[in-house]
Structure 1
Amino acid sequence: MATGEPGLLGTQSAVLWDDDNLYIGFWVEEPYPKAKLTERDSIIFNENDIEVFIDGGDCYYEFELNALNTVYEVFFIWRDAYLRGGRFDIPEFDLIDRKSFTFGGDFDRKPESFWWGTNPRGLRWAFLDWDFPGVRSAVHIDGVLNDPSQPSRGWTAEIAFPWTGMEHLANGRSLPPEEGDEWRLFLGRFQKLAVGENEVQAAWCWTPHGKYDTHMPDRFTPIQFSKSELTISYPPGLSL
């Protein structure tokens, strides 16, 4: 994610759409798939996972999924856009009644910048109890989960985001999109790897961010919507 270098393990993703949903699929090579968390909105990024972010201009949405199909999601609003009488000044994003906190960014965990961050735009309000209306996901394990004695090929994930749930993310764009419309998405994967006696969490995504921070919407990949037919090549044995 930081450098744009190739990932150690095979990872592919695809984006499709129709008038009802935005569909995102992942194929994840993982010789020994692992996942333990089963409660919704558990801290999934502490495990191996796939992640989707959708940029909405003055806001963005985060979705994480592990190999047990456990979902974690957060809705972020830039503080400079959270104005009295503005489009986010609604009960759905009430700072007192909802589970919200300020957030500076993944990269800003040094003591001197932890609370304020270093993103030029500043802080975000993060709503942990926000659920994307109607989102659906499914996972298939190509092998055995949580068994280090049995090598596996990996796992696939499929997610459907209804356009009817994108009201706050549309930012003036049509729902569903029109031909040629452009949105910014982050499609990534986080994988724990043993390096000597240490464990690191590698991050791979479509567009490099220049630093280890997913929360950089200006670096998300531009996705242009088209109704033209595409020829898609899948890894051997995979069909989404």
Structure 2
Amino acid sequence: MRFTTMRTLAFMLVAVAGPSAVAEDGLDPLKPTDIPWPPVPEAQVQRYTAFRAIAPITIDGKLDEATWQQAPRSPRFVDLIRGHRTVHETRAAVTWDAQNLYVAYWVEEPFVSAKITKRDDNVYNDNDVEFFLAFDNAYYEFEINALGTIYEGLFVWQSEYEKQGFSREPEIDRSRDGVKCISFNGVGFKNHPRGLRHAFLNWDYPNAQAAVAIDGTLNDGEDRDRGWTVELAFPWSGMKIVALGDERAIPPNSGDIWRMDFSRFNQFREAPPVRDSTGWAWSPHGCWDSHIPEVFPFVTFSTDAVPNPDVKIVE
């Protein structure tokens, strides 16, 4: 499945962090702008071990493979800003094999809804889940709604764009016609020490796959649903551009630690007195901004299979 999605400039300036970032900075009392650095101390950032898959994974959204049943799941997602418990449960998991990095989400939602069907349309107007993958000089963002409509983008720190060779890659060469790029300075956090990023809105992760499965009835408010699940596969071979200037092994070696982020954004908000920012995450960010790699969870890769000693790893 080839991803091809874009956002409008207006949305990028206000709401790239998630579909519910509909208020300008400073106008929403639930989204503070007086933010220290780092927004979350490193010792408080969540950590996870990603084990090897024990059998082939079919990307159909159902998460019924033995690997997903046995792989450790994340803690319940918490509020993006303050880290408190959220009204609905969300969890994620990561596994891998020789070909792909795999990500799964379990999303509790009593009234599953999604309207956006066009890949290049405003997916952020629906509830979604999001995945970020950070390398030393760039990071990748992926979003999907319950209909399987996708947004993705590549963000390169401007200080590294020329130095690390990003400008020599035709698909993100800013001088070429058809390459869509804007200058990006975060969403709720405007004082990142690394400064501005180049946001490439038409960059597609090569040969990535994504699927959604719904446990309920989509867009039917007359009944109650359990929610939906998401299954993603990112080939190691597709990480070449995101990883420019980064010397890590791809695929990773056992014990290697990467930074990834996992979040959920909602069009609904839990009733007061809960201070629901409408953004929920595996590990809180301390502010309304998904674009801060320094607060992404630490994911350690293990060459051990997901916990089942009787099943061998399938290459």
TM-score, normalised to structure 2, is 0.67
Q: Is this contact kept in 1: 2:262–2:282, CA < 8 A? A: yes
Q: Provide the residue aligned with 1:174 in structure 2.
A: 249
Q: Percent identity?
A: 43
Q: Provide the residue aligned with 1:107 in structure 2.
A: 188
Higher relative contact order (CA 8 A, sep 6+): 2
Matched AA of 1:72: Y
How many matched pairs? Answer: 221
- Structure 2: give runs of 5+ residues left out of the alignment: 1-79, 309-315
C-alpha RMSD over aligned residues: 1.8
TM-score, normalised to structure 1, is 0.87
Q: Is this contact kept in 2: 1:24–1:158, CA < 8 A? A: yes
Which ranges of 4 or more aligned residues in structure 1 deviate by more than 6 Å?
A: none
Once residues 141 and 148 of structure 2 are traced to their aligned partners in structure 1, the CA distance between those partners, rounded to angstroms, is 15
1:142 aligns with 2:215: yes
Q: Is this contact kept in 1: 2:91–2:282, CA < 8 A? A: no
Q: Deviations along 1:62-82, whole A, 9 cap, x unmatched?
A: 000000011100000011111
Q: Is this contact kept in 1: 2:127–2:265, CA < 8 A? A: yes
| Equivalence map 1:43-192=2 (5 Å) | 43-83=122-162, 86-90=164-168, 91-97=170-176, 98-108=179-189, 117-170=190-243, 171-192=246-267
Post-superposition offset of 1:168: 2.4
Q: Is this contact kept in 2: 1:190–1:201, CA < 8 A? A: no
Once residues 120 and 133 of structure 2 are traced to their aligned partners in structure 1, the CA distance between those partners, rounded to angstroms, is 18
Give the SS at the match of 1:89: helix
Q: Is this contact kept in 1: 2:269–2:278, CA < 8 A? A: no
1:226 aligns with 2:302: yes
- Structure 1: give runs of 5+ residues left out of the alignment: 109-116, 233-240
Q: Which stretch has the larger CA shift, 85-94 or 16-25?
A: 85-94
Q: Provide the residue aligned with 1:207 in structure 2.
A: 283
Aligned pair partner of 1:36 in 97, 115, 120: 115
Q: Deviations along 1:45-75, whole A, 9 cap, x unmatched?
A: 2210000000011100000000001110000
Q: Which has the higher helix share?
A: 2
Q: Which has the higher strand share?
A: 1
Q: Provide the residue aligned with 1:112 in structure 2.
A: none
Q: Deviations along 1:108-146, whole A, 9 cap, x unmatched?
A: 5xxxxxxxx322211100000000000101100100001
Post-superposition offset of 1:201: 5.7
